[in-house]
Chain A
Amino acid sequence: MKTIKILHMYADMLDLYGDSGNMEIMKYRCTMRGIGCEIDKYSVDSPMPDFSAYDLIYIGGGADLEQQHISADLLKCREGIVNAYKNGTFLFLICGGYQLMGKYYRDADGNDIKGLGLFDYFTVAPNSRRKRCIGNIVVQTEITGKPVKVLGFENHGGQTQNVKTPFGKVLYGNGNCSKSECEGYFEKNVIATYLHGPMLSKNPEISDYMIEYCINRSADAPEKLVPLDDKLEKECRKVMLDRLLKG
């Protein structure tokens, strides 16, 4: 049996807006296909893991307070994460996880939280805590090779700037900054996005993109995934896309 290995970082602290649901969905979609899905957890004070041993590293989002708590710990993991990323480990990053991989996050009081600096973008929170990008969002991405509408819910103060390769184009909602055209950050083995929801609950194609990447990254002959019965997910998407895009 094929097995993919996932490292879920700071699950106990960065778990806002149902982000842990993404792991439940990854596991579900693997299990339904007879693919093994091992999810290890890492948090502050855990022994240093071998990051390169994982096919995918996942970090969710948290409130400012939690983000401050983990940033120092995350910096200790920098070398391991950089090596894993260079070896082709997939990085799946939501909200806080997305911000912390950039150069820095400047909070509402003007304090800088240092990021890992893996990518060139940086994030600045507005002075007022009331100014947040909140609401349903639809992003069109081409990462799977064809246009896919990705549905989620954004709730962030931070404005992420200097993104060269965004995850997708905003069709409804805000994106990286208030009323911006683009959302998230993308490389072939990186999806970084503000989308909660949790994101994968309404976008099975994105979960499958990552699962396919993971099972094929060391394979000589790439395999296609067996399709699943996504009747409920499809209906759910239709209801929301009709509501948001046809309104």
Chain B
Amino acid sequence: MKRLLILIGKIIVKLLKLMKRNAGNLPGIILWHLSGHKAVSMFTVDCPIIAVTGTNGKTSVTNCIARLFEKSGKKIIINREGNNLDTGICSLLLRYCDMSGKVDADYLILETDESHVPVVYSQLKLDTLVVLNFFRDQLDRNGEMETLIQKINGFCKTFEGNLILNGDDPNTARLGRANPKNKNVRYFHAEPYAFATDKIFEASEGRFCPFCGETLEYDYYQYSHIGKFICKKCGFGDHKPYITASGIDLEKPEFTADGHKYSPKLNSIYNVYNMTAVAGAAKLYGIDRKITNEVISGYTVKNGRMENFMLGDRKTTLNLAKNPVGANMTLRVMNEMQGEKELLFVLNDNVADGLDVSWIWDINFSIFERVTRVVTSGTRAHDIAVRIKCSGYPQENIVVRPDLDKAVEELAKTEGRKFVIANYTAVQPTRSSLKRYIAKHGGKTE
């Protein structure tokens, strides 16, 4: 039966290739149905599997861990395009397995959707699970945050492999207690950076101790509910970190982890957390220090995550915001910058974004400083306009342009510094639109 399924899968992949169609997900969906919803059960994987999950940063961390092994000369398989559901992982493995379903590699590095961790790794043996953070994101798809954490927690109860957890996020750190017999639980942690606060700044999850219900106390918050927390009643939060980022300086930017100074290219606190997770994985697998340094210091992204464009002579920074945390972070970066600026906010409500756009009300627009104009676009251009207006921002300075190209034209009309925030399905169309503007009117992409 397994061989038959593999054969069918391979034929579908071939057919799609002949038709010049992307085989990202469809073969997996078909096999999911044929296999009785066990889309990855027909594969034989003998090498270690490392999975990365969490709300924000999965793609970055997965790519970096893959590079650690690649640069060490290992043969790896990775779902680079972010097909991170069981069906996407099935499609990926179909491409790399032989006719018996055996997958040949030294390591599998798999970005895995939060809600699919138990599904995929009840069928494939997992060596290491890296859990980055849990924020409100696409709540209407997954139901409540707590349900999601319970699912992964249920998986962790019997998991005896390595767990690399964000020790500064109570939502992920709690997974370390799911299986008291598991001796392979490790936490990453970061000391406070310059903009850490002693009060919480944004709406967030995880106010209470999940074990005894007591209010969690924080030494400091880095962003959202990420920070050094402790439950004074039961001691939750007293875990010893396996790896710690210290001396964080985002101006340079640099930080030190495990006695080694890194100079990453991206200057955000969440990049520091992501790279500390990467350094943790490197330490666990005994990767050469020099290689770890190359990966962390060389990592940059061109996928709308703090990506720069020149619209003519107007410097423009695009950042993806899938949730309030990401958007608030961009607003902070805007405020930390002197001088006047304008913002384009592109908001879509496609299925992958989550149909509910109420998360925009958790963005703290009242902190706006020297923002002279706002343009809004996307399928929910009006919703974001109303939201910004009700924060007290003058209505006459808001321009609604649902059509993206028109919105970019509008943004570039005036001089000065520009910022663009786009949510999940909006980010690639926004990049394309910015590039179309540049092709037409001049400028450059970085």
List A residues at the B interface (Cβ < 8 Å). 12-13, 15-18, 20-21, 24-25, 28, 63-66, 69, 129-130, 132, 134-136, 153, 155, 157, 196-198, 201-202, 229, 231-233, 235-236, 239
Contact = CB atoms under 8 A, between A and B. Distances in A.
A247 to B, nearest CB: 14
B140 A21 contact: no
A24 B361 contact: yes
Interface of B: 139-140, 143-147, 203, 207-208, 213, 355-362, 382-383, 385-387, 389-392, 395, 398, 400
Contacts of B391: 24
Which secondary structure characterizes the binding site on chain B? helix
Contact of B355 (A16, A21, A69, A153): A153
A18 B386 CA distance: 13
B385 A232 contact: yes
A94 B387 CA distance: 19
Given A63-B145, A65-B146, A198-B358, A20 B385 contact: no
A232 B140 contact: no
Contact of B208 (A69, A132, A157, A231): A69
24 contacts: A16-B139, A17-B139, A17-B356, A17-B358, A18-B359, A18-B360, A21-B361, A63-B144, A66-B208, A132-B143, A135-B140, A153-B355, A153-B356, A155-B139, A196-B356, A196-B358, A197-B358, A198-B361, A201-B390, A232-B386, A232-B400, A235-B382, A236-B383, A239-B382
Nearest to B147: A129
A13 B208 CA distance: 10
A153 B360 CA distance: 13
Contacts, number: 86
B395 A229 contact: yes
Contacts of B395: 229, 231-232
Contact of B387 (A21, A153, A196, A235): A21
A96 to B, nearest CB: 11
A235 to B, nearest CB: 5
A135 B386 contact: no
A17 B145 CA distance: 12
B358 A236 contact: no
A19 to B, nearest CB: 8
B139 A201 contact: no
A136 B355 contact: yes
A32 to B, nearest CB: 10
A129 B385 contact: no
A197 B357 CA distance: 7
Contacts of A65: 146, 208
Contacts of A157: 143
Given A135-B140, A135-B355, A232 B146 contact: no
